[in-house]
């Protein structure tokens, strides 16, 4: 048993067990859980100096928010009894396999890993992500090879042997070079040269990264692997690299064989990156795609993957148009992905934006997103007709629920979290057992698309809104309709139960909101104020405020007891199809077709911040039960989980994006419209009260005139916005 000293803490560290030989050093387990010791055979002064620089200047960890170790980076120097540096302490990467186990079909099948093509895309994306982080920190890897990359079951990679990197001291610019290279990964301009004497650059890493990504996506094959059609024996791989002879080089002597996986099956953006690297980049290394360019291409490609309808472990690119793996298996009798999926499938791609998780897995727009009541599971659904249950902390898929034959528009959890309900454009409602992923019951719900769902707080009743203009209240235990509520003149796009379960709010493409007494089935109030569809509704946790989002690009906060508008929040430049209150009721999150999410201070009407990251419409939002994150679903097919910092949001000194503009007295846009009393039967039909609406038109005319007068006066008032990219946002109370 050997005892050494940790330089940073002065504490003794015991080396345990049998070491693993690692070339110029041995790696030991230690008595400190989660840490290994790397002890050099001959620690030179140069190596000790290099270690000191690495310890003082670690790169940014792109996956710290996932409790994941991307780099087995030196944490502290280790000294012997004489006080000499003999090695370093580094974090241990657990529960991960070598990259070759992931991309090599034979090894993968032997280990029964159940890897599929989408997993490999996401692994490639995450490798590009951590290499981008290293390059941003000024490091050059110098020797990227599969043996030094480990991958866990969430497709999150870790790189080991980091002390072989090329390191530059930021204080004196001294360069500690990478001393080794690996056959098949060395860029052409370095072939035949003494690598230990060359100061490498990011351009050299770009070549190595492209080779790794190619191996991941093409069954473990090298881009320089194929049938030699030139004169003589097949050259060594380094000679092929030096001459730029890969499978898709112009006039190449390397040609595909029957088992070669065609470059055409990948997304065009990924294909473009390969061609730029190995063709254009052969003559001009500056043209090789950067790690960030690879990230962008792989993100697009991952989002464009479609699950095969025949084999549940096959994914293929939408741009290719059919399942290549089924065709290949039929032709060759070999299916490299012919293993059923794991119970929990990794699906996280960790972006370089600190704290933001991006989950990819849907092949079309994510229309609905919902946290389970305990916050452990995230449910999503969309236009790909599929519902997915994700582990909210790891991003792994727990269940994939299939059965709908058209878009899934809405989701609702039972209050106890045991049942998930889905509403679809196929006109049905399905109830699912969350623990098993099995369908419990199906309601042949409406005569048209089911647009919206809401569970009563007591879990006994389910409300569904439809494009047939009606709302149905269902007895969940019997599956029978309690009431059919009629009154809207167009599709019912949004529903929300009050926290006490006594009132149901409905928003419609007739531009109105109705509040219903669920025990009688009668309309209590009709709220008029939006000038376009009411796409989203959210009750405050105390039930006093109802928020509505509209295709008119505004959000309105309504006093539920009076029917008056408290604030009209303006700032989005397009439709607002998603709203979510924080659990404490202080913050309202809004998602828009303008691709952004905004956070609003409900008590003041101030816009606090704008979250940007989606590259298409934000269709759905959900606050986690602990209020620490907001999950968003988008038409870009992705899910993002955003950390919400309470100290920033609730700080009294925080500067709002815009200052609210309020009138002296907040009055309703229109006087609440009350329906006439009617008696509920097994199906209760409520007709709008036409005389009241006509009366309001005359009152509304004077309101419009007053509004124009106020706008004319306020035209000369200007508020400067700190964000030059965002126009000043005005928050107006109702005239």
State yes or no: pLDDT of 341 exceeds 90: no
State yes or no: pLDDT of 154 exceeds 90: no
Give the pLDDT band (50/70/90) at residue 446. Answer: low
CA distance 410 to 536: 11
State yes or no: pLDDT of 340 exceeds 80: no
pLDDT value, residue 185: 95
pLDDT in tens, 157-199: 999 999 999 999 999 999 999 988 899 999 999 999 998 899 9
- Domain end (from 332, 358, 377): 332
pLDDT in tens, 619-663: 999 999 999 899 999 999 999 999 886 433 333 333 334 444 343
pLDDT, averaged across the chain: 84
Output 588 or 657, whichever has higher pLDDT.
588
User: Is residue 175 in a domain?
Assistant: yes
Q: Are 83 and 187 found together in one domain?
A: no
pLDDT in tens, 217-246: 999 999 999 999 999 999 999 999 999 999
User: Is residue 502 in a domain?
Assistant: no
Rounded mean pLDDT, 492-511: 96
State yes or no: pLDDT of 701 exceeds 60: no
pLDDT in tens, 16-51: 999 998 878 999 999 999 999 999 999 999 999 999
Burial of 713 (0-12, 13-18, 19+ CB in 10 A): exposed
Output 144 or 614, whichever has higher pLDDT.
614
DSSP string, 62-110: TTGGGT--SB----EEEE-TTS-EEEEEEE---SEEEHHHHH-HHHHHH
State yes or no: pLDDT of 83 exceeds 90: yes
% the chain with pLDDT above 70: 85
pLDDT value, residue 445: 60
Helix (H) and strand (E) counts in the chain:
12, 45
> Token pair for residue 323?
């399942």
pLDDT value, residue 360: 82
Ranking 154-163, 234-243, 439-448, 582-591 by mean pLDDT, the lowest is: 439-448
Ranking 74-83, 262-271, 572-581, 678-687 by mean pLDDT, the lowest is: 678-687
pLDDT value, residue 579: 98
- Domain end (from 283, 304, 332): 332
Specify the number of domains making up the chain. Answer: 3
State yes or no: pLDDT of 353 exceeds 70: no
User: Is residue 574 in a domain?
Assistant: yes
DSSP string, 610-674: EEE--SS-EEEEEE-TTSSEEEEEETTSEEEEEE--HHHHS-TTPPPSB--B--SS---SSPPBP
- Whether residue 168 contacts residue 175, with contact meaning beta carbons closer than 8 Å, is answered with yes
Q: Are 294 and 273 found together in one domain?
A: yes
CATH number of residue 578's parent domain: 2.130.10.10
Q: Are 210 and 138 found together in one domain?
A: yes
pLDDT value, residue 678: 30
pLDDT value, residue 520: 93
User: Is residue 655 in a domain?
Assistant: no
Output 369 or 612, whichever has higher pLDDT.
369
CA distance 686 to 680: 9
Q: Are 33 and 122 found together in one domain?
A: no
Q: Are 185 and 314 found together in one domain?
A: yes
To the nearest 10°, report the CA torsion of 315, 319, 320, 322.
60
Q: Are 80 and 148 found together in one domain?
A: no
pLDDT value, residue 523: 95
Q: Are 228 and 125 found together in one domain?
A: yes
- Whether residue 29 contacts residue 22, with contact meaning beta carbons closer than 8 Å, is answered with no
Ranking 114-118, 330-334, 347-351, 723-727 by mean pLDDT, the lowest is: 723-727
Q: Which strands, in side-by-side order, build the sheet including 554-559?
A: 534-539, 545-550, 554-559, 564-570, 731-732
User: Is residue 375 in a domain?
Assistant: no
pLDDT value, residue 387: 95
CA distance 87 to 106: 37
User: Is residue 593 in a domain?
Assistant: yes
State yes or no: pLDDT of 680 exceeds 70: no
Q: Are 110 and 33 found together in one domain?
A: no
Q: Are 212 and 188 found together in one domain?
A: yes
Q: Are 320 and 246 found together in one domain?
A: yes
Q: Which domain holds residue 171?
A: 96-332
pLDDT value, residue 355: 63
- pTM metric for this prediction: 0.54
Reference 176, options 194, 160, 196, 192; nearest CA is 196
Output 437 or 282, whichever has higher pLDDT.
282
């Amino acid at each position: 048993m050997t005892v050494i000293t940790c330089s940073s803490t002065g504490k003794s560290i015991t080396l345990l067990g049998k070491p693993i030989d690692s070339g110029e050093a041995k790696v030991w387990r230690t008595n400190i859980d989660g840490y290994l010791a790397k002890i050099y055979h001959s620690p030179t002064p140069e190596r000790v100096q290099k270690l000191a620089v690495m310890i003082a200047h670690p790169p940014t960890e792109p996956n710290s928010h996932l409790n994941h170790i991307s780099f087995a980076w030196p944490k502290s120097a280790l000294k012997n009894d004489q006080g000499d540096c003999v090695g370093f302490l580094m974090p241990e990467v657990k529960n991960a396999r070598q990259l070759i186990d992931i991309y090599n079909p034979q090894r993968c099948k032997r280990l029964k890993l159940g890897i599929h093509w989408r997993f490999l895309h996401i692994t490639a994306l995450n490798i590009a992500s951590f290499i981008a982080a290293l390059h941003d920190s000024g490091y050059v890897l110098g020797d990227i090879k599969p043996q030094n990359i480990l991958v866990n079951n969430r497709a999150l990679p870790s790189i080991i042997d980091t002390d072989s990197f090329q390191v530059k001291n930021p204080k004196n610019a001294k360069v500690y070079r990478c001393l080794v290279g690996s056959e098949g990964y060395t860029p052409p301009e370095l072939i035949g040269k003494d690598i230990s004497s060359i100061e490498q650059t990011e351009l050299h890493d770009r070549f190595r990264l492209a080779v790794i990504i190619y191996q991941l996506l093409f069954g473990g094959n090298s881009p320089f692997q194929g049938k030699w059609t030139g004169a003589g024996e097949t050259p060594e791989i380094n000679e092929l690299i030096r001459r730029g002879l890969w499978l898709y080089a112009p006039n190449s002597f390397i040609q595909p064989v029957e088992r070669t996986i065609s470059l055409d099956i990948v997304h065009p953006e990924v294909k473009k990156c390969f061609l730029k690297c190995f063709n254009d980049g052969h003559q001009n290394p500056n043209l090789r795609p950067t790690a960030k360019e690879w990230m962008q291409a792989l993100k697009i490609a991952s989002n464009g993957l479609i699950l095969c309808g025949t084999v549940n472990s096959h994914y293929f690119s939408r741009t290719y148009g059919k399942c290549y793996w089924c065709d290949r298996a039929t032709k060759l009798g070999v299916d490299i992905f012919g293993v059923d999926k794991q119970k929990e499938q990794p699906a996280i791609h960790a972006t370089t934006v600190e704290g933001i998780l991006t989950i990819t897995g849907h092949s079309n727009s994510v229309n609905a997103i919902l946290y389970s009541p305990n916050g452990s599971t995230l449910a999503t659904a969309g236009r790909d007709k599929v519902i997915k249950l994700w582990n909210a902390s790891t991003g792994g898929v727990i269940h994939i629920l299939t059965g709908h034959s058209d878009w899934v528009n809405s989701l609702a959890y039972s209050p106890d979290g045991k049942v998930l309900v889905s509403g679809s454009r196929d006109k049905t409602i399905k109830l699912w057992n969350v623990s098993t992923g099995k369908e419990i019951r199906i309601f042949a719900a409406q005569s048209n698309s089911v647009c919206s769902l809401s569970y009563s707080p007591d879990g006994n009743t389910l409300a569904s809104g439809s494009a047939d203009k009606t709302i149905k209240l269902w007895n969940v235990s019997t599956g029978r309709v309690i009431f059919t509520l009629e009154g809207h003149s167009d599709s019912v796009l949004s529903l929300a139960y009050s926290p006490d379960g006594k009132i149901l709010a409905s928003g419609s493409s007739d531009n109105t909101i109705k509040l219903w007494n669920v025990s009688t089935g009668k309309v209590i109030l009709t709220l008029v104020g939006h000038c376009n569809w009411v796409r989203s509704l959210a009750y405050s946790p105390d039930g006093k405020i109802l928020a509505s989002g509209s295709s008119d690009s505004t959000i309105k906060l309504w006093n539920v007891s009076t029917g008056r508008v408290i604030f009209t929040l303006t700032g989005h430049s397009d439709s607002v199809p998603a709203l979510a209150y924080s659990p404490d009721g202080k913050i309202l999150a809004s998602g828009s077709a303008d691709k952004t999410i905004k956070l609003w201070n409900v008590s003041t009407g101030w816009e606090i911040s704008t979250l940007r990251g989606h590259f298409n419409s934000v269709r759905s939002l959900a606050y986690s039960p602990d209020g620490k994150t907001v999950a968003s679903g988008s038409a870009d097919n992705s899910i993002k989980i955003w950390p919400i910092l309470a100290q920033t949001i609730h700080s009294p000194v925080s500067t709002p994006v815009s200052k609210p503009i309020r009138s002296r007295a907040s009055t309703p846009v229109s006087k609440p419209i009350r329906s006439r009393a009617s008696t509920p039967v097994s199906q209760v039909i409520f007709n709008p009260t036409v005389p009241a609406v006509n009366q309001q038109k005359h009152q509304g005319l004077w309101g419009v005139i007053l509004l124009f007068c106020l706008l004319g006066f306020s035209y000369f008032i200007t508020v400067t916005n700190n964000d030059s990219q965002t126009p000043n946002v005005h928050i107006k109370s109702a005239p």
